[in-house]
Structure 1
């Protein structure tokens, strides 16, 4: 294992060849995700044939995320047994094949449920791969480099996903909206998934773990005992890793708030900032929001290592959620484009900073033998929080995206999260 570099600086981190290889696999994988997700957004939100509502978005998220949320924890049992390098390789190859099938379904104008089924499988593999990437990171960096690695790696992955989304927006500015444009995007994503899978072959098969434990039962017995092993992971988390438990609770609440605001921005871009019939204008506005949010993610990667050294992981996470409680209503309640774009920038900074802190706390607190299961649970909490947020907006958010009550409630949730996390992590 190559963990070149004794310092915590970015240059020391990047001197590690294994870290660079894992980072390349992440960037290519999430670049593909960005292209694929824009094709989904185009199909569901910006289709010329439909007038999409928050309920449509909630329905899509339930179809794509909820089934995997029910089986996702069992994926952690596999991540703690299968070679994680092989998960990255074979998972991306499978997504390539599914992407090509999805593109063919769009061109053939197949029934919508077939398209959603193929998209479900791609998304399920995506969550599995992201959990594997997070569980693998401590295998390629030194413990003192984890904060910097968590600032750089997931953030560059998010920026890559945003660039993939930008590519999708550009395609829709050139190619008329419809099945042909969506099929072109899905096919492009499939080819990028192939590149991501091949990039994983640059790492040795055993580099990313997990370590071999000869006393563990064979895989077929392990799957039969998956529920018990998952319960062991939860007990380890709650009993021995209180800091990780509190961090997961905080980021789940923050993710719920983020989901509400994402659906709000989608509705504002479609129905308020543009005419509902102006599909290119709506896509362009959404692209602007995604771009400034990506800048916020990038800024989080730059400032979080320094801020966590200055304020600690707890202090920086608390400060970010408290800041969101202030700027979300201050900017969002204007329902004007420029203030909302400013809010998207700050929300990107806050959201990614919270994730950097939570990732680091979980990686530092959880033993490697349990890390795959815990990150699978982490990913499921992410999914459930987003689905719950979409369900809330489906009930409370009007078609034009304007709901002062929902905006103020989101601000209150951010403030409550900051207060409870600060109190729970206060030294006894």
Structure 2
């Protein structure tokens, strides 16, 4: 009995020792796992910091960090990422759940609905933004904060599929997104460094926005499948709120000073002492000016092509008219979408390298390239020519829009710049919808000839638009040369004609002091005192040592520049 008890005690000790060994091994394994996790976390954090530092160096290059352009680029990239997450979160809901092969009437209704935000931006949001030029930072922050709150509301409405909440909230998000883009575009000249042109600066903003949206959308698809779209929207709310705080920390010179344009009777203040009164005009297609109108019409033609290709090629794929290679519909749609996306990204990259080229010429070149590609695609229609046309359409749309933004920022005065951008955005969206509706109608053609015929029709329309724009530009340049040639050159000397090239000035007569020599001037023990003309007394066009502007001279009110006379192309803080 004693031997059995002793054996039991030995077995107990052995089991206890084995347990202690197992526990020790578990502790060692856990320690090693934790150490490996800490190393991995440190490595990921180090890699993230490296990516952040590299991105900061790119966004702050060429003086962009000093003027505030770098912060504006990062802010726009953040809001683009938020918009991409909203789109991913709402994919599959009743807003975006319509299959492509449903009735074309429903797709046409969707196209018309997309115009609603722009009909609000053009007549209402643009003038409001012009009224609050001195608070652009707070306007941009307000659009970001409001979108964050709307994300929370849409997250609560996704589960029960509350269409009464989702639909108005989604339209409000689109309106606020366009309002932010309009305000950001109007702000660009105030943060432009001296070494960067307007087209390059706009392209840099677009490039970082596209990359941010693409990366975030890919990550958002995985997050939506893992935790659900409602939680992605709640995370997007945090992103928008943080971006709103960052918008309020933009440099103060982002806010343009308010000009006293409106009197008690609703008219503008006087242009000068006794000058005529000017009434604020709402921006329409007929009040944009010839240069902006020319660039806007070229971009509208490109938008018509882009909208046409999206729906025309989509329905051709659904009906099997682009399946020569035996690929599935999903693969064909993915190839077309990848081609268009790659073209847009390449357009932003190319536009960021453009320097010293006229934006008007860039717009016409983009339209000519899109037209030539559409004609070639109609002649040799198949899958890969269609992909090429889609890629070139994305490329020219991005390049043309960036050049158009630069033209508006350069040609339009500060006091109505936001209204102009609102009108431009609305007209371009209308052009895209018109192209989409044309694509729906031409996709009704049956047979294999539907693709070549439809693309030939849109190519012919592009040729007509390009020819009309080139002729209008030639007439405008010819008329300007004739006006310059007919402008008389004033000549002040006697005996010469009032027009023509002035001749050399006459030789001055020698000075005769008379019979008495003049008394020499005694400057005193401290030398002659330099002449100080006082503020605003110098001649026009000469920098005033007191910092006085043209508005300080007679003919301007209150020491402020006249409305519409200042259009800064470079930032004074550069």
Higher RCO structure (Cα 8 Å, ≥6 apart): 1
Match of 1:105 among 153, 157, 177: 157
Cα distance in structure 1, aligned partners of 2:368 and 2:223: 38
Match of 2:209 among 124, 148, 157: 157
Distance 1:167 1:282, change over 3 A: farther
* 1:202 matches 2:249: yes
Provide the residue aligned with 2:301 in structure 1: 253
Distance 1:251 1:108, change over 3 A: same
Match of 1:137 among 184, 188, 204: 188
Cα distance in structure 2, aligned partners of 1:287 and 1:27: 24
Distance 1:265 1:191, change over 3 A: farther
Match of 1:327 among 367, 370, 373: 373
* 1:344 matches 2:390: yes
Distance 1:274 1:256, change over 3 A: closer
Cα distance in structure 2, aligned partners of 1:318 and 1:41: 36
Provide the residue aligned with 1:96 in structure 2: 148
After TM superposition, give the deviation of residue 331 of structure 1 in Å: 4.2
After TM superposition, give the deviation of residue 379 of structure 1 in Å: 1.4
Cα distance in structure 2, aligned partners of 1:269 and 1:36: 27
Summarize deviations over 1:103-132 as a string: whole Å, max 9, x none: 322211224x54222211111111111111
Distance 1:334 1:422, change over 3 A: closer
Mean Cα deviation higher: 96-105 or 266-275: 266-275
Cα distance in structure 2, aligned partners of 1:295 and 1:67: 27
Cα distance in structure 2, aligned partners of 1:50 and 1:261: 14
- 5 Å matches for 1:22-41? 22-39=72-89
After TM superposition, give the deviation of residue 361 of structure 1 in Å: 1.2
Distance 1:323 1:134, change over 3 A: same
Provide the residue aligned with 1:304 in structure 2: 351
Match of 2:413 among 352, 367, 373: 367
Cα distance in structure 2, aligned partners of 1:235 and 1:69: 14
For 1:47, what is the secondary structure of its paired residue?
Answer: coil
User: Would you say the 8 A contact 2:62–2:193 is kept in 1?
Assistant: no
Gaps of at least 5 residues in structure 2 are: 1-58, 268-277, 479-574
Gaps of at least 5 residues in structure 1 are: 1-8, 223-227, 276-280
**Which has the higher Rg, Structure 1 or Structure 2?**
2
Distance 1:207 1:55, change over 3 A: farther
What TM-score comes out, normalization by structure 1 length?
0.79
Provide the residue aligned with 1:411 in structure 2: 459
User: Would you say the 8 A contact 2:120–2:175 is kept in 1?
Assistant: no
What TM-score comes out, normalization by structure 2 length?
0.60
After TM superposition, give the deviation of residue 416 of structure 1 in Å: 2.7
Summarize deviations over 1:147-197 as a string: whole Å, max 9, x none: 21122113432343344443455557x56xxxx855455445444333332
Number of matched residues? 398
Provide the residue aligned with 1:80 in structure 2: 130
User: Would you say the 8 A contact 1:156–1:298 is kept in 2?
Assistant: no
Distance 1:30 1:210, change over 3 A: same
Cα distance in structure 2, aligned partners of 1:184 and 1:274: 38
Report the aligned-residue RMSD: 3.7
Structure with the higher helix share, 1 or 2: 1
For 2:469, what is the secondary structure of its paired residue?
Answer: helix
Summarize deviations over 1:230-282 as a string: whole Å, max 9, x none: 734449944xx32112111221222122112222344456665999xxxxx86
Distance 1:329 1:418, change over 3 A: closer
After TM superposition, give the deviation of residue 87 of structure 1 in Å: 1.5
Cα distance in structure 2, aligned partners of 1:263 and 1:374: 29
Summarize deviations over 1:266-319 as a string: whole Å, max 9, x none: 4456665999xxxxx866765554444333233223333555635x32332222
For 1:364, what is the secondary structure of its paired residue?
Answer: helix
Distance 1:141 1:67, change over 3 A: closer
Cα distance in structure 1, aligned partners of 2:60 and 2:348: 10
